[in-house]
Amino acid sequence: MAIERVGIVGAGQMGNGIAHVFAVAGYDVLLTDISADALAAALAQIDRNLERQVSRELITAETKAQAMRRIASTQTLTDLGDSDLIIEAATERETIKAAIFEDLLPHLKPETILTSNTSSISITRLASRTDRPERFMGFHFMNPVPIMQLVELIRGIATDEPTFRACQQVVERLGKTSTASEDFPGFIVNRILMPMINEAIYTLYEGVGSVQSIDTSLKLGANHPMGPLELADFIGLDTCLAIMNVLHDGLADTKYRPCPLLTKYVEAGWLGRKTQRGFYDYRGETPVPTR
């Protein structure tokens, strides 16, 4: 099946980034969210990000104009029914994702492919609650979507080969690289990345090093572009905690136990950049470590 019309559920940081790259690649995009403000903010963010690409001569002004014309928005989820491919990029809570798919099902074409941008939730379990588990898979973009080159493709136990190949071809058209992951907690990237971040938080919790010394050590000692605590703030500490809980619950291994300090920061509402405080305080001109 030719994929030309793409529906995206969720206009947050991931959703607007996904809409951006699909529109630039020539797909017609319909972006939905329950919040009109979120949709307006997403379209404004896409416009700014495209303009930044124009200023860096990565795309032309005409490409930007065409991309913006390809993106439409709606607050009505069922308007996505005519899409060839749907990418769910809503909040990382399984109950919310399952409810979205349940509401969509009666309005879909038989051939529509359903996917989720989940970073850790079981694709097999999400697929089992739909009428098309063979046409359902994980489509996991990295943040920020316009910059990061990887897309993890995750097959559920029932995902058929034509669906996998179709999604693989979509990733190629986006100009990105796909990796295939089996459907186990955390998939590939977060199975490796999140325990590293969690261990960095334990290193802080146990007083081995300060925020600054831990991040400097990994940036200069392991050539990482961002320190693990800085990266955690960028991802969102609530998201980090949610993924660690999925790993801990799904793999039943104590090495995935979330650090109590991570839990404490989330309880305080210090979630990183999006709340202006996490392992760094972002309320001033330059970020200041909070420990």
Local structure of 156: helix, strand or coil: coil
119 tagged catalytic:
yes
55 is in an annotated binding site: no
Q: Which of 88, 116, 140, 181 is catalytic?
A: 140
Name the H helices within 111-236: 123-128, 161-173, 189-205, 211-221, 228-235
82 is in an annotated binding site: no
12 is in an annotated binding site: yes
128 is in an annotated binding site: no
190 tagged catalytic:
yes
Q: Which of 122, 190, 198, 230 is catalytic?
A: 190
10 is in an annotated binding site: yes
264 is in an annotated binding site: no
Local structure of 65: helix, strand or coil: helix
Q: Which of 152, 178, 198, 230 is catalytic?
A: 152
223 is in an annotated binding site: no
Beta sheet of 71-74, edge-to-edge order: 71-74, 28-32, 5-9, 85-88, 113-116, 136-141, 150-155, 177-182
274 is in an annotated binding site: yes
Q: Which of 16, 73, 83, 119 is catalytic?
A: 119
Residue 114 and residue 133 in contact, taking contact as beta carbons nearer than 8 Å: no
**CB within 8 Å of 86: residues ≥ 6 apart:** 6, 7, 8, 9, 80, 104, 108, 112, 113, 114, 115
Residue 138 and residue 187 in contact, taking contact as beta carbons nearer than 8 Å: yes
227 is in an annotated binding site: no
13 is in an annotated binding site: yes
84 is in an annotated binding site: no
β-partners of residue 180 are: 153
Q: Which residues are catalytic?
A: 119, 140, 152, 190
Q: Which residues are annotated as a binding site?
A: 10-15, 33, 92, 97, 119, 143, 274
Q: Which residues are annotated as a binding site for NAD(+)?
A: 10-15, 33, 92, 97, 119, 143, 274
